[in-house]
A and B are shown apart, each in its own frame.
Chain A
Amino acid sequence: MTTAATPKSSGTVRRSNRPLYMVFGCTVFAAFAQVLLKFGAQHPAPALALGDTATWLPFVIALATNAPLVFGYGLHAGNAMLLILALRDGELSILYPVYALSYVWVSLLSMYFFGESLNLWKNLGIALIIGGVGLLGKVSSRA
């Protein structure tokens, strides 16, 4: 079942890097989804008391009409589909760590949307992650 997904190439066949690019797209979408969830979290919501059923409906309605929250979760769901498609044809041990790239996009988007600043540590972290993912790309095209 799994051998079909990761054929040992005979050396002459160069494996496609397409799954890698798909996960790359995933990380961008995941970061935007994260930003949407953060916007959604800033929406006011009525208090929920689990013991009091009367508070359930207003709470659920508030969540369902919270557009950034709904779009954020929707984006995460679409993202999962793209990730699954990528996993079908690529190595898990290469594709899964590439997901760390979303940390980089979240840092950059937080700067833009929430005015969070980058400091030395964050810059260093971003550089290291990009280096690591770049190395995975190299490993992937050689595999």
Chain B
Amino acid sequence: MSAAKPHPDTPVVSVRDLRVYYGTPKGPARAVDRVSLDIRAGETLGVVGESGSGKSTLGRGILGLLPEGTGLAGEVLYKGRNLVTMTKEELRRMRGPELGLIFQEPMTRLNPLMRIQEHFEETLRQHHPKLSKDEIRQRSLQALGRTGIPPTRYKHYPHEFSGGMRQRIMIALALVLEPTLLIADEPTTALDVIVEAQIIRLLADLKRTSGTAVMLITHNLGIVAEACDRVAVMYGGKIVEEGNARQVFADPKHPYTRELLASTIALETRKLHTIPGAPPSLITPPPGCLFHPRCPDAMKICAAAAPPEEQLEGRRRVQCWRHSATGAIPAGQNAPLGREEISVAFEA
């Protein structure tokens, strides 16, 4: 760690009320809508959701890597400073030594004309200009070794590596700067199953040995279960449930988490389970709870008002009326929601 190790209970990053809106001809799309979360040192937080849930936008919002013209508000507190209000230059200097990132498609992030050695030299020189050539080599080879790339390949070009090796190199390039927080956006989606499992195992090993906080963005619930301590489930730009990964998967509190788990096809699947309907529009979201049009447990209140966030035991929270404090729901509002059958026309 380049910085002094923070106390294990103090978050490395605190996101408060983060909003990321994209402008569209039809009006603003609320890709991330009032999201709050904490990531602590040495902790891996999995952010899961389907496409359009805002999980990738959340990662990019934290790093300030959003396209021009995107609306960004709220707070991303890192070492007492708000990343949202920082200038581009300040943020750029933080990316790398403080905030590392790993992307889905490693080949597009490696310059095909540069040897692996040159990638490391450039990265290290940019952030540690005083390092000697020998130190750079030492550090690079060490980082590569941790990700399983032999030193004999140090002078090779990116195209001489397989997809999994390239992703290992990307991880090594992020780790060589010893960032405090590592954001990995779908790092294994482009890889084959066995290689994917190798990389997940590598990430899990690295987490144990380095103390880096990791935010792992993925659509794959299995990856979260295997590599993450905590999980945040996103739906329509909001975190609907967050908690210890084992607990959440063993006993999902939010109906969306439960339905998503049930519809995931695993080896044990005996009968297909589907969630009717399609994800909500981010431009004209439904009133009340975003999930209520698809929710089998919906009550009258769900269509009328957005559910409050309830803190449950053990750093666990959920946004669902079913778990709201007693007395929060006005009388009569807890009757099941009668609604028209969802037309297949709006199936995703």
Q: Do A and B come from one complex?
A: no
Residues of B in contact with A (beta carbons under 8 Å apart): none
Residues of A in contact with B (beta carbons under 8 Å apart): none
